[in-house]
Amino acid sequence: MELTQNQSYVPPEGFFKRLSVLDWLYAAALLAASLFALNRYGTYMDYYEQAILLLAAPTFTWLGWHWKPVRALIAGLAVLALFAITQYAGALDMANKKFFLKYLLSSQSAILWMSALFYLSTLFYWGGLLTRSNTGSAIGSKLCWAAVVLGFTGMLVRWYESYLIGPDIGHIPISNLYEVFILFCMITALFYLYYEQHYATRQLGAFVLLVISAAVGFLLWYTVTRDAAEIQPLVPALQSWWMKIHVPANFIGYGTFSLAAMVASAYLLKSHGIFVDRLPALEVLDDVMYKAIAVGFTFFTIATILGALWAAEAWGGYWSWDPKETWALIVWLNYAAWLHMRLMKGMRGHFAAWWALIGLVVTSFAFLGVNMFLSGLHSYGQL
């Protein structure tokens, strides 16, 4: 940009100077909450868990500074989870005696509400897309947010419930298929809601919520047929602090890869003349697809490295060509190649979209198919 004689260059304002008093109050509240939790529940945690708790404050502070809805989400979760904990009064059987626990805030009740709300959200998103109704899509978005709130509340309460069963039973609820399917739904929905606000469009909700609804359908089937909602002690291989960071990083990858695939399906439909005047521009769809895969690849890479370190501690070797490890490598290579073709060769259009959609098949087999059809060191996750 050229400056006239009477103009002078004004450097951009620094990030911290753009923060308001409310931003700093939000950060202080998170720090205070972390210290309170450490003081109140620190005796139940090892040193690694205490470190994770303290690091949660700056992490969620940064998220709340960059994406304001995170603040309301955290506040809502804190209120609902703490209220539920007080209702238990230290006794797990209160889940069937207290009204709010029985019908809303026990872990199973909250997760069932999450499931119903995701299905309703899908219906309203599709209704809004097919009828070109902004109102329908707006209701779908609100229902999706409500599902996220109750899903995360259910996970937090389930964490507490595990300790009510016994201090040696208590663990973070990301240890089996039932729990990680809930985590998958939450992560996929949150990333979608971020992109929904960032690109100011709700039309993609109809597509992304389909994969979430499919996950919810499996979750409900798995719960009914295997009594999966029952809290079980951790198997020895999972009694490690590595689980607490490896699994969330892994499922950020799974969630964003799935999101990218559903956006790719919208891209292909629009490019073939379907929903032409109802979906965002192809350039927007392409950008969302690329950013989702880039984020997913970053976290999946981190998860793979963490998994190797965990394997070295648990089994004495970083890599054993276990079926789960092998398919994780296939997923990583698939998206590494996609990003290489995108960044180095300028890959766009139908080929990129089809590749992202096929990537969902590869990812799904690594996530679920290995558990169903193969066995190995990760056999504790079998169906």
- Report CA Rg, the chain: 22
Structural domain contains residue 222:
no
Structural domain contains residue 62:
no
The reported pLDDT for the residue numbered 105 is 95
Number of neighbours of residue 6 by Cβ within 10 angstroms = 5
Q: What are the tokens at 225?
A: 């047929």
Structural domain contains residue 229:
no
The reported pLDDT for the residue numbered 250 is 94
Structural domain contains residue 334:
yes
The reported pLDDT for the residue numbered 383 is 56
Low-confidence ranges of the chain (pLDDT < 50): 1-2
Q: What are the tokens at 174?
A: 């990301």
Structural domain contains residue 194:
no
pTM (2 d.p.): 0.92
Number of neighbours of residue 127 by Cβ within 10 angstroms = 16
The reported pLDDT for the residue numbered 382 is 54
The reported pLDDT for the residue numbered 374 is 67
Structural domain contains residue 123:
no
The reported pLDDT for the residue numbered 370 is 81
The reported pLDDT for the residue numbered 291 is 97
CB within 8 Å of 140: residues ≥ 6 apart: 121, 122, 123, 124, 125, 127, 128, 202, 205, 206, 209
| 228-236: long-range contacts, CB 8 A cutoff, minimum separation 24 | 228/176, 228/177, 228/178, 229/107, 229/108, 229/111, 229/178, 231/158, 231/161, 231/162, 231/165, 231/169, 232/176, 233/168, 233/169, 234/171, 234/175, 235/380
Whether residue 354 contacts residue 334, with contact meaning beta carbons closer than 8 Å, is answered with no
What domain range includes position 341?
235-383
Structural domain contains residue 341:
yes
CB within 8 Å of 17: residues ≥ 6 apart: none
Structural domain contains residue 37:
no
Number of neighbours of residue 143 by Cβ within 10 angstroms = 22
Q: Please give the tally of structural domains in the chain.
A: 1
